[in-house]
Amino acid sequence: MDIGKRIRNLRESKNMRVTELAKKAFISQPYLSDIENGRTTPSLDKLSTICDALEISLAEFFGYESKLSADMIRLLDNMQKLTEEERRHLSDFLEAFLKRSSGNP
């Protein structure tokens, strides 16, 4: 996969200019141009930041089509913002909620 071409195609599909994407991704316009033209390859961290600016996940960038609904994706995105302890509490709550909903004491 040509990462630079993929970024350019995604950017153009969203009608974004190079300068706009660079600003949203907190990178310089020349650096983004170098990526798009294949002169450099971004680190995974930088690619993740570019994907965030394009409002896509890394999985989507690499062509993985999620079978998850928009609600599930939003839930997972929100869960990633929680601390480990908060995720544990949420998981415990959901398990209790499901038991109660199914009629199990």
Q: Which CATH class is domain 3-61?
A: mainly alpha
Indicate the residue type of 103: G
pLDDT band at 105 (very low <50, low <70, confident <90, very high): low
Is the separation of the CB atoms in 78 and 86 below 8 Å? no
User: Could you give the residue range(s) of every CATH 1.10.260.40 domain in the chain?
Assistant: 3-61
Phi, psi for 3 (deg, rounded to 5): -60, -45
What is the structure's pLDDT at 11? Answer: 94
- Tell me the residue type at 102: S
- Tokens matching residue 3: 């990462």
Helices (H) and strands (E) in the chain — how many of each? 7, 0
- pLDDT tens digit string along 26-85? 999 999 999 999 999 999 899 999 999 999 988 888 876 656 677 777 787 788 888 999
Look at residue 1 in the predicted model and tell me its pLDDT. Answer: 76
